[in-house]
Structure 1
């Protein structure tokens, strides 16, 4: 029996480095609940600058307990950014991703 790639569940560890998690997902939730696609991410020590596809810039900190980290782990967002044009397959892949304490890829 073959499992369709879009229906396959992905598991990531909860306590991995937050920057690696964002680099892997290529998604960023803004404070207003809009999900943006990440174009580039420049890491400078404990901070990073994210540039989205709609050319917004976000300064983020390497915190596993931040608002953005909780939003990414729990999939809390209202809608995707229309300017970033996140494809449907990427949103499906993101919705099938699970973050677990004891199981999954360590990135």
Structure 2
């Protein structure tokens, strides 16, 4: 049973609310190509304040077509942040997640 759980494919809708997607994945791609783990996320209207595990705090906009949204959907990152220490199981779970236009959970 545990062997099939690791290879399970997860499908999410491609055009869901960006804040819901980030809150579900708990990952954030930086501009340099690093993948950070999210410690906390506070939504304030159309913006959100994110704190990563490496204690970086920044604000993001709710945009489905942003650079970060495209990177999360297409899994564009080079490596994970060494300070955030994202576990290997979480990276494997993220790698097994697929974004589909018409199939998957609405979050």
Please give the range of the TM-score, normalised by the shorter of the 2 chains.
over 0.9
Aligned to 1:42: 42
Query: How many residues end up aligned between the 2 structures?
Result: 107
| Structure 1 segment 1-107 matched on structure 2, within 5 A | 4-107=4-107
Normalized per residue, the structure richer in helix is 2
CA deviation string 1:9-44 (max 9, x = no partner)? 000001110000000000000111100000000000
Post-superposition offset of 1:58? 2.1
Tell me, in whole angstroms, the C-alpha distance in 2 between the residues paired with 1:78 and 1:69.
Answer: 16
TM-score by length of 1: 0.96
TM-score by length of 2: 0.96
- 3-state DSSP of counterpart to 1:71: helix
Post-superposition offset of 1:6? 1.4
Q: Which runs of 5+ in 1 are unaligned?
A: none
The RMSD of aligned alpha carbons is: 1.3
